[in-house]
Amino acid sequence: MAINREPQVFLFLSKILGRNIVGATGETLGRIYDLTAEFVEPYPIVTGIIFRSAQKRNPVVLPWKDVVDMDQSISVSVTSIQDLSALHLREGEVLLKDALLDKQVVDTDGAKIRRVNDLHFLKTRHGLHLVHVDVGFRGLMRRVGLIRVFDAIFQGLFDYKLPDHLIPWKFTQPLSSPDLLQLNIAQNRLSQIHPADLADILEELDIKQRAAVFQALDVETAAETLEETDPKIQVSLINDLNSEKASDIIEEMSLSEAVDLIGDLPKAKAEGILKEMEKDIADDVKELMVHPEREAGGMMTTSYLSFRPSTTVREAMDKFRQEAADVDLVYYVYVTDEEERLLGVISLRDLILADADQILEDIMDERVASVKLDDKHDTVAEQFAKYAVTAIPVVDETEKMHGTIIFKNLLEIVAPHLGK
Amino acid sequence: MEKIKIFWKKIIQTGLWKLGLFFAFIGPGIITSNVDNDAGGITTYSLAGANYGLSLLWILIPVTAALIIIQEMCARMGVVSGKGLSDLIRERFGAKITFYLMIILLLANLGNTLCEFAGIAASMEIFGVSKYISVPAGAVFVWWLVVKGNYKSVEKVFLLACVFYLSYIVSGFLVHPDWSAISKAAITPHLNFDAGMLTMAIGIIGTTIAPWMQFYLQSSIVDKGLKADSYKYSRMDVIFGSITVNVVAFFIVMLCAVTLFQNGLKIETAKDAALALAPLAGSYASMLFAFGLLNASLFAASILPLSTAYTICEAFGWESSLNTKFVEAPQFYGLYSLMIFLGAGIILLPGVPLISIMFYSQVINGILLPFVLIFMLLLINDKRIMGNFVNGRLMNIISWATVIILVALSLAMVVSAFF
């Protein structure tokens, strides 16, 4: 069984750049300066060679299809550089060295920012494909030109050869220009990263890249990431957006996070965003913004479910299924009277386990712990510790329920003071 | 007793609040300048005053101008590009150049760190503490800063302590100098072409405009996250900082000139200067001088290793954050530890030739500075990085002229070191 195997060779960009280009007549035309590539899936394919020559001032492009052989020098089928055109990038085409080499990329698998030391190509009969980026120390040594010395030292001292640190292209998100971020939007690699990791990455990036990366995210990922980001950076990211886009993202955030963020924004910006928001969300936000951030009223969310005591379990479950996707707190439902006075609480477990025809009054727990609107954060923390719940309802003097504090939101206020 | 306690508490509470407000306005430019008045700086200024009197005082005026020109470009690059200097150099000039530049920077900064620990040793010896106690204690303290990770707040404490630089100014007034002679000296350029005086002049310039400062200033500005439209505040900050550093330098030179030089005392180190001040200007002046030296050395010793590790990791794309564990950022912590370990360790070696180590660290700085400055000028004229914020024609003439003079002086020093 004879299979005609494709000749496959791996190549590094550092070994390609600077090579001589030899024309059909055996004359040296110039030296390779950069490569152009088209960003196609799964691997970008090299479309042309940019080189400088003695005759022309501006670099010229040689289409990759004219390459005959790649050895120590690169043989091409062109005879004279007069036939070649000046550099003009087509849609979707990128200068590889210019856009990637020595620049920062996100390793979406490891959720880290890396600097590209080299690019790793696979040469097949169909062309030259970009398959890996090299971010390792060996790659750096290769660029510096000390790779042999370095390998010899490692071999001599430790009897060990340091492996190349290559990241597969599919886990690589280039950052160097906003265009590159837009280019990959169809299969946005950044959304593969957990929002909390993405937030860490944003915090590490410089101010321009940060804005570019953030704006390349889809609304939902942007909202989740924003929730995990440092408040100062939240403000600067939102400030860079127009009110319409900003309000789209903020609407997707959990209510209490959204309130904190809008409270931190400059007044004019905050008003602009509130105007753009859906009216009912904007009303909720405005209501919550009245309370100071470190009091129970400022930590609570108004996005929870409450029912009358006479509601049946079946009705409650139906409503729950319809609305739970947009509700901040789902682990408890509250039972209130006509004047919104808090009567009892039912955990999600009890609700699911209960008979569908029972009414809520019969299954609710009346011994419900609550805090007042103006209780301070340490009082709230004490209540959480004492009653071991994951959310505490907030009431006023008349026992009227205003919202509920989710443990996570308390943690955000208290956590910065822990362990210090 | 209880009342005093409450009263004291109140003062601290209200006082700290005002202090916070004050430091909100203090920017990277002023911090960098204060770090610039480090052990090496204070030593050089005292030697210049003690050995050459007022005759080198004038040089501080052109040095201030040069410092402003260079730091302004750094600040502008930081604000506009949002990137650190080593980041920009790597992206613009590639891996090879960056690699060798970073090796020289590491060596130069190691030398500088050594000088800071020498400063700690010298100043504590004036207070009668052996260097075998003060240097390890200093190293542990600097190390602790990073392990605890509350560097930012400590930076503010140091800054507050920088108010002690005012002590130099106060001492300057206390000795009742002849102001007319001083102002005359300050505006009359005067330079003998004897090797010692020339070296001293170059030394003053070298210690004021050091390569590491450009990296440190630019990354602190980037950290502040300023936008291009608030750039004018950054510029004010840098100008104010550059003037401050040289006002302090002015007073140190003057103080040593009117006391030590006029009495014909020859000194070799800043410690000599502090000790010699006691009989001439009183023991308080001497103590303040020593305390100023200690504060400056400790401040710079905390910043230099950190700044070096950041700069190098930024250039090579290694994890560099104080929030990570050692195994997550081995290069960062490795470099940082190496700097402190070698910096403090070499001082403790018996019979170490301190003066020549300091001299050669100045030489390495002199080799590095031309490269850094030329890279800066190329970067700041790159439209792809700076957009509309590239140097104007006038600014280019001024900055290239400044850089050429500085490069020539650096080369002169390097050449004179070998022949």
| ipTM of the modeled complex | 0.78
d(CA A333, CA A346): 5
Distances B202 to B39, B65, B191, B403, B408 between C-alpha atoms, Å: 17, 15, 11, 14, 10
Mean pLDDT (chain B, rounded)? 83
**Nearest CB neighbour to A144, from listed B90, B95, B222:** B95
Which chain A positions have a beta carbon within 8 Å of B321's beta carbon?
Answer: 204
CB contact under 8 A, B225 and A236: yes
Least confidently predicted of B145-154, B250-259, B373-382: B145-154
Best mutation target among B96, B312, B322, B324 (most A Cβ atoms within 10 Å) is B96
Q: Over range A359-377, report the average pLDDT.
A: 89
CB contact under 8 A, A115 and B227: no
**Nearest CB neighbour to B95, from listed A143, A208, A232:** A143
CB A262 within 8 A of CB A274: yes
CA distance B407 to chain A (A): 26
d(CA B155, CA B150): 9
Q: Which residue has the tokens 């120390």?
A: A137
Is B227 at the interface with chain A, CB within 8 A?
Answer: yes
Q: What is the pLDDT of residue A1?
A: 42
Query: Per-residue confidence at A420, pLDDT binned at 50, 70, 90?
Result: very low
**Nearest CB neighbour to A207, from listed B90, B99, B225:** B225
Q: Over range B189-207, report the average pLDDT.
A: 80
Is B316 at the interface with chain A, CB within 8 A?
Answer: yes
Mean pLDDT (chain A, rounded)? 85
Q: What is the pLDDT of residue A102?
A: 92
CB A96 within 8 A of CB A13: yes
CB contact under 8 A, A135 and B83: no
Q: Over range A280-299, report the average pLDDT.
A: 83
Q: What is the pLDDT of residue B51?
A: 87
d(CA A211, CA A178): 9
CA distance A219 to chain B (A): 24
Q: Which residue has the tokens 């954050």?
A: B321
d(CA A409, CA B154): 30
CB contact under 8 A, B95 and A103: no
Burial A119-151 (b: 16+ CB within 10 A, else e): bbbebeeebbbbbbbbbbbbbbbbbbeeeeebb
Percent of chain A with pLDDT over 70: 94
Q: What is the pLDDT of residue A6?
A: 54
Question: Is residue B378 over pLDDT 90?
Answer: yes
Query: Per-residue confidence at A185, pLDDT binned at 50, 70, 90?
Result: very low
Query: Per-residue confidence at B71, pLDDT binned at 50, 70, 90?
Result: very high
Length of chain B: 419
Which chain B positions have a beta carbon within 8 Å of A207's beta carbon?
Answer: 82, 222, 225, 227
Question: Is residue B121 over pLDDT 70?
Answer: yes
Query: Per-residue confidence at B109, pLDDT binned at 50, 70, 90?
Result: very high
Q: What is the pLDDT of residue A245?
A: 87
Cis peptide before A416 (omega within 30 of 0): no
Best mutation target among B316, B325, B386 (most A Cβ atoms within 10 Å) is B316
Which chain A positions have a beta carbon within 8 Å of B319's beta carbon?
Answer: 112
CB contact under 8 A, B96 and A112: no
CB A231 within 8 A of CB A257: no
Q: What is the pLDDT of residue B194?
A: 72
Is B234 at the interface with chain A, CB within 8 A?
Answer: no
Best mutation target among A207, A235, A420 (most B Cβ atoms within 10 Å) is A207
Could you give phi then psi for residue A51, rounded to 5 degrees? -145, 160
Which chain A positions have a beta carbon within 8 Å of B100's beta carbon?
Answer: 144
Euclidean distance between the first and the last CA atom of chain B, given in angstroms as a whole number: 69
CB A183 within 8 A of CB A175: no
Q: What is the pLDDT of residue A392?
A: 92
d(CA A275, CA A247): 9
The alpha carbon of A47 is separated from its chain's Cα centroid by a whole number of angstroms, namely 30
Q: What is the pLDDT of residue B72?
A: 92
DSSP A416: G
Question: Is residue A173 over pLDDT 50?
Answer: yes
CB A284 within 8 A of CB A303: yes
d(CA B310, CA B276): 39
CB contact under 8 A, B96 and A143: yes
Question: Is residue A110 over pLDDT 50?
Answer: yes
Query: Per-residue confidence at B20, pLDDT binned at 50, 70, 90?
Result: very low
* pLDDT tens digits, one per residue of A17-65: 888 888 888 888 888 889 999 888 788 899 988 888 777 677 888 888 8
**Degrees, nearest 5: CA angle A9-A14-A15:** 50
Q: What is the pLDDT of residue B1?
A: 54
DSSP B283-299: HHHHHHHHHHHHHHHHH
Q: Residues 87 to 116 of B: which have CB under 8 A from any A CB?
A: 87, 90-91, 94-96, 98-100
Question: Is residue A186 over pLDDT 60?
Answer: no
Query: Per-residue confidence at B21, pLDDT binned at 50, 70, 90?
Result: very low
Strand partners, A124: A127
Which stretch of DSSP H or E encloses residue A336? strand A332-336
Going by C-alpha positions, the residue among B371, B418, B419, B380 that lies closest to residue B399 is B380
Q: What is the pLDDT of residue A345?
A: 93
Q: Over range A293-303, report the average pLDDT.
A: 84
Question: Is residue B32 over pLDDT 90?
Answer: no
Kindly state the tokens that stand for A374. Answer: 């103006």
d(CA B96, CA A18): 14
DSSP A157: H
Percent of chain B with pLDDT over 90: 25
Q: Which residue of A has its CA nearest to B224?
A: A207
Q: What is the pLDDT of residue B288?
A: 79
Q: Over range B35-46, report the average pLDDT.
A: 85
Q: What is the pLDDT of residue A182?
A: 64
Question: Is residue A347 over pLDDT 50?
Answer: yes
Is A179 at the interface with chain B, CB within 8 A?
Answer: no
Which chain A positions have a beta carbon within 8 Å of B83's beta carbon?
Answer: 206
Question: Is residue B5 over pLDDT 70?
Answer: no
Rg (CA), chain B: 21
Euclidean distance between the first and the last CA atom of chain A, given in angstroms as a whole number: 70
Q: Residues 69 to 108 of A: which have CB under 8 A from any B CB?
A: 101-104
Which chain A positions have a beta carbon within 8 Å of B317's beta carbon?
Answer: 104, 113-117, 135
* pLDDT tens digits, one per residue of B215-269: 999 988 887 777 777 788 888 888 888 998 888 899 888 888 888 888 888 888 7
